[in-house]
Structure 1
């Protein structure tokens, strides 16, 4: 075969080094098929079992690049900052700052600009967290690797590995690149790639390579841990060409969409802008043609209308309210990296959850052991009891377990699982043996022979010398072990031939327990002579065995999950299990925690792969809960995209590398903080520090509360637009005969002074009764709807405007004013200032009633309690003090154009809060009825 030629564009680096330009798109490994024979791979990679030379490896590193994950070009921060500065609400704040300058309040304009800048920088920093997933992926690549170079094993920097290298894989290490095994076998933890909770044996002799590449049993993948064994592998992919690199590329391609609140806030901002601009523009001809004002006065009053309509405090209040939600969730064990995601949680309609480590404790535990004469049941904590005597069936089974294991229970602080070494399944078996009474690690010795677990045979065995004979112990899949057995132990530990009826009984137990989602291991043994062991092959050794029992294990569900699932169902949230585990195991766990009570369907990865988009939509767009088993990263992405296309708000949980793209693509990516990988934590929007599924439900509840509270303070802020706008309209429609009831500076004092703290306090309001008993709102539902506008502008704002105008006119008339009289000088000027002061104080007084009324959207104040929100009481107190300063302190009087009212005029303000709240309470009562 004629070798391919390549053109390499070598560029001299800034430090004299040499790098390969991106024009090199081809490489030797691109044509290598890892499923072909090892000899063919050696030929295609131009290597052999003695590895490469150091010079050849250095040459190939120029062609293939460094064995590390490359990050796409980062964000252009000036553009991102500019995007935050031009958000619609930020634009309104810019307008407000400009109007403040025009109105002569330059310090206020500076304060508004600072608010804009702080919000922009804060939002930008929050979004940077989502860009760190690929850097976290790099943590899965070890710093060094053992490689055969120049016909000798040597330790090299893992970044220097190239296709064609021969690497050594040993227990306790981590695979440095995708490699085809050429000798030996190892047990690897593929959970970060496939979600499979059980360690997998990969062997050079394996022939089970059907299905996806990640399921091949003769390939070790970059970033996976070696739990046991030793092997040598031929590297065929490095860097971004590895399986983990492919996932990194998927994670980078996934973009971040705006949250529902971000979209709705933009709509509200444009609504406010349109109303403000239309009213301001309409006032100019209205004031000039109808009221007879000069063009200059008309423009000034139009500016006043704009200031009255622009809620200067809305953006910082929303940001701070969401930040409070972030802190609240952090106390509950949920770290939110993007503050707008707090609200998105509240609209979650589907939770796509992994099984291992999310619904379960991620710790294998033996629950039952079947023996012909008895069934042993184990406590949840495997508490030690009186040991079974030597020679009994349980002790024989326990001894066979400890002998047929390569794991070890180690002493350590707390004597917990973190001190143990080896396969988690074997660790669980050893703990069960210890429970029965077998001394810890009694069988730790140099086995005569170990036949490691074979994925095709689905069993392993060990051969140990006992005196002048040999003891053979085997464990594995029940159907495989049962086929090797010809005898079974009886009640008195005696043995007899295995009858067909007993085989049927064992098969029934296996079927019944498997349907419960239990992982089953059969244990058998036999005695052999030295001649039998030395002369016979594995197949001949593993025969004529005696069945001792069937061990049932489970990765137990978290105790809080069942209640959390029930709460999800009450809240109208559907749960879909997306896992790399077997469907039968996943189904058992799901049903045990209450998932699928209304119907549960299991779909395998191969079935999902064969589904058309319409078939998938038809499957997902129902009320049934589903288990997707043996799913791949692409399939998780496909499920997420299909759900989102159907209008669902999706929360995807995960802990492994394989979850990163789907976590990033979903509306809310939820990663596990303890058992999760750095990749998942960086790609996710929220990280559970306690790995507790119940925390997700708490977060959803908190999200709903935040959204409701956002609506509450929007109602509160919008309600003040009416009493602020109506005075200008009265002035214009009267042709200037009625003096202006409110000044621009007084409006700014209300918008940025008196209303801010009560609005923030509404963001801390407790949830209303029945918050988690209602269906999730749709993502398209407007945060500002018709009912809200009727309530804020009509009920609360209308009553407030009427009360304020009554106060203003009463003060004017009582001071000697008559219709059309000039108030620009003389005694009437003081009367007019007093009247505007009363208008200002009247709006503040009505704000108190509005704040109390806004605390609930439908429920009565009696149900939530008048004094349950102490922050609101402090906010109202500040509001009263601030208003008192504005109307009594001489400097503030000159700035805001106010005067001090008399004591009896202050008494006029007292009934206004009750009036405003009472009208709203009556309106809510009619809605409830």
Structure 2
């Protein structure tokens, strides 16, 4: 346990020093200046001015304006701003405003998507109750929790949230500490001395801000408020951990700068070249604008955003709510999962697994039911009007287990026959009741830790019982011993627990188990097939966690158990996590330990998914690449710090999300190939125009490029983002974190193969229309010339040819290696609809008079339509041959 977790946090600079909450109570009262009547109202007001309000400071969110500016200065956006500026300089205002609109729409769309996906769930401050009961001037009264100060005497009772860190001065309560410790069972807290050397969160006389009192009543003296509480310390850890950009965000920005540099360089070189060969300045500027616009994939950012949004919706249907769009892609590169045990790998529902008796061992029989029934009588479980059991999960398991063994108990009869109850004492680790039942008379029934119970036995050798308890604990069970003592008829009820808990006879042991979810073992196997390691990071003990790990297949081929993970240093942690074939159970973990594990894995170049449900998990969830919070059992703080929330708290959902992330990543690469393939046929016409010094007229206009990039291209690209996963997606290792989303092979395929074939085809269509009209290089084609209509028709053929090439590219991009027949020609219905839309849209631009005037198009004759109708088959067919040749080479080399 780190120093921060074992000592109270220091106050802020300038404030009085914090007292030690574990010092003797009279000394603590004296240091805090608090008597039996609490503080006076005037003293409380003075301390409020000194210490400040009892609330956790919230981290300010990035302003909407700043996020909008970030979108507007993205490298691709900057390139389009430059193109718009050139358009205004060239006195082409319509084109300039069109490009500006594209930039603004892209930025607004991305901003809205991110804002919608990243809405905060709840804040840390929500964990503090609005009001608290406090004794001031000797009178109990309700005050706002934010007005509590160190030294206040507060009243805690069942159902109340603890408003500040405090030490009990009177009474006893049970507290749900799961938000801080990760353990689901309520913890007993009683007024009394502390435990020597115990971690702060396990001290039996301390309660902490934001936890909930589940039973009992007590008074406590506040020793820390606001940011000085455990809740405030964890909030500070969360705010100090920075969230780095996702791999996709970094790679897209890197590629964007590359595209920008290439486009600017090409534009500058050919602008100078155009002027040098005698082109008018206006024509040279139009050429430069065309190169910029043709090189910039305007649809890339919104289509990536839409594809990720589609992935978000698909994951939501599977039970995973993703709060950051880029996290969908990050899931696909995850190679380490650090998971909780309780509720994620297991059902979070204890059950009676086995019993052991000195006479019969673990064999079943009537004695098993009697043992279970006796243990169930030593509980405080209640049943509501609807028949549901309420109370400690362990005790609920005992009551249900008694019924399962054919010895059910009636809770009303249990309570009616109860003479005395000595509640569970965390220092003695025992609970006992004096129970009267017909016809057996009265008994003392004791249950608790086996070591504690055997110490109260009346003779006998406890060796066999302790050995059996060790075996059951090694199998992952929580072991309780049950012992009894018969009271003679007419005997007085023991007044003190020391009197009751002595002279006992051991009935046996009960083993309670939180079984793994049935689907987890298969999910772990799929993780291993996919090259993903799984570590368990839990607040539970090592034996229990290791047993669960073995049952679900974690630790194949090697499992290491760290029983006290908070004691592990940097060097040992590096050694533990450096071996790719070993999985680790980190038991008894603290908030700092989880953060330490996440940071170490990141330092080793791993992409980390970390699960958590408590406030104590927030820093690690925030720091991990993918913070996964539990939607059912998780706290609001954990959900806010995470990037993904599991609505079903199921480990298998994480694995499904990883598979979905890999599919999304593959599909992003598919539509990048599709989009980039059209850069070549858009750039080549401008190069032909410039290299010919204007003797060949410009085969394509800038507005037609925008119509392609923003109109015909978008829906098919989005449809490629909906492709189903190719076979074997979870049978390959995770991609290296250094691998770019755009690879050299992708650029060769898109720019060099698909793009070159498309460029050759569309230039063929352009020259076919001109030569058919009798054009020769250098002939004038401007307005008013005999060849002007033929020139407009030729540019329209170029435009329509690029669109039909898009159809072939879309079909080719559906697979990276496999033949199209393996996934089916008609399996992507959205793509077919997108192709239909782009063909109808193109026909409208070509044949509708209002759009002809706007985009500079003309109607195409049947022979030209027949020519460009062959382009999809030619583009797809050549790429199919290339992939066939590559598969053949690989099979031959293998």
TM-score by length of 2: 0.93
- Say if 1:745 and 1:27 are closer, same or farther in 2 by CA, change over 3 A: closer
- Say if 1:81 and 1:804 are closer, same or farther in 2 by CA, change over 3 A: closer
Please tell me whether the aligned partners of residues 819 and 880 of structure 2 are also in contact (alpha carbons under 8 angstroms): yes
Please name the residue that 1:40 is paired with. 27
2:634 corresponds to 1:647:
no
Please tell me whether the aligned partners of residues 115 and 316 of structure 1 are also in contact (alpha carbons under 8 angstroms): no
Please name the residue that 2:617 is paired with. 659
Please tell me whether the aligned partners of residues 494 and 500 of structure 2 are also in contact (alpha carbons under 8 angstroms): no
Superposition deviation, residue 553 in structure 1: 0.9
Superposition deviation, residue 208 in structure 1: 1.8
Aligned partners of 1:798 and 1:790: how far apart in 2?
10
Structure 2: give runs of 5+ residues left out of the alignment. 1-10
Superposition deviation, residue 474 in structure 1: 0.3
Please name the residue that 1:401 is paired with. 375
Q: Cα deviations across residues 641-662 of structure 1 (Å, max 9, x unaligned)?
A: 1111221111111111111111
Q: Cα deviations across residues 812-845 of structure 1 (Å, max 9, x unaligned)?
A: 2222122333333533222222222222222111
2:693 corresponds to 1:735:
yes
Please name the residue that 1:439 is paired with. 409
Q: Secondary structure at the match of 1:841?
A: helix
Aligned partners of 2:270 and 2:26: how far apart in 1?
86
Superposition deviation, residue 399 in structure 1: 4.0
Please name the residue that 2:445 is paired with. 473
Please name the residue that 1:804 is paired with. 762
Q: Cα deviations across residues 7-56 of structure 1 (Å, max 9, x unaligned)?
A: xxxxxxxxxxxxxxxx984434x330112111111111111233222332
Please name the residue that 1:832 is paired with. 791
Please name the residue that 2:424 is paired with. 453
Aligned partners of 1:100 and 1:879: how far apart in 2?
27
2:153 corresponds to 1:169:
no
Please tell me whether the aligned partners of residues 368 and 377 of structure 1 are also in contact (alpha carbons under 8 angstroms): no
Please name the residue that 2:323 is paired with. 337
Superposition deviation, residue 106 in structure 1: 5.7
2:352 corresponds to 1:366:
yes
Aligned partners of 2:638 and 2:361: how far apart in 1?
41
Superposition deviation, residue 692 in structure 1: 1.5
Superposition deviation, residue 219 in structure 1: 0.9
Please name the residue that 2:73 is paired with. 86
Please tell me whether the aligned partners of residues 93 and 116 of structure 1 are also in contact (alpha carbons under 8 angstroms): no
- Say if 1:726 and 1:563 are closer, same or farther in 2 by CA, change over 3 A: same
Please name the residue that 2:286 is paired with. 300
Superposition deviation, residue 429 in structure 1: 0.9
Please name the residue that 1:490 is paired with. none
Superposition deviation, residue 303 in structure 1: 1.3
2:551 corresponds to 1:592:
yes
2:892 corresponds to 1:914:
no
Please tell me whether the aligned partners of residues 83 and 289 of structure 2 are also in contact (alpha carbons under 8 angstroms): no
Please name the residue that 2:824 is paired with. 865
Q: Cα deviations across residues 246-277 of structure 1 (Å, max 9, x unaligned)?
A: 11121222222111111111012111111111
Please name the residue that 2:680 is paired with. 722
1:118 pairs, out of 108, 111, 126, with: 108
Q: Cα deviations across residues 160-188 of structure 1 (Å, max 9, x unaligned)?
A: 32211222332333222111122333222
Please tell me whether the aligned partners of residues 409 and 440 of structure 1 are also in contact (alpha carbons under 8 angstroms): no
Give the CA RMSD over aligned residues.
2.4
Superposition deviation, residue 297 in structure 1: 2.0
Please name the residue that 1:554 is paired with. 513
Please name the residue that 1:699 is paired with. 657
Please tell me whether the aligned partners of residues 85 and 120 of structure 1 are also in contact (alpha carbons under 8 angstroms): no
Please tell me whether the aligned partners of residues 128 and 145 of structure 2 are also in contact (alpha carbons under 8 angstroms): yes
Equivalent residues, number: 870
Please name the residue that 1:615 is paired with. 572
2:151 corresponds to 1:194:
no
- Say if 1:377 and 1:729 are closer, same or farther in 2 by CA, change over 3 A: farther
Please name the residue that 2:747 is paired with. 789
Structure 1: give runs of 5+ residues left out of the alignment. 1-22, 379-387, 488-497
- Say if 1:610 and 1:885 are closer, same or farther in 2 by CA, change over 3 A: closer
Please name the residue that 2:15 is paired with. 27
- Say if 1:666 and 1:515 are closer, same or farther in 2 by CA, change over 3 A: same
Please name the residue that 1:3 is paired with. none
- Say if 1:918 and 1:581 are closer, same or farther in 2 by CA, change over 3 A: same
- Say if 1:851 and 1:449 are closer, same or farther in 2 by CA, change over 3 A: same
- Structure 1 range deviating more: 395-404 or 250-259: 395-404
Please tell me whether the aligned partners of residues 382 and 391 of structure 2 are also in contact (alpha carbons under 8 angstroms): yes
2:823 corresponds to 1:852:
no
TM-score by length of 1: 0.89
Q: Cα deviations across residues 262-300 of structure 1 (Å, max 9, x unaligned)?
A: 1111012111111111111110122233x4323332222
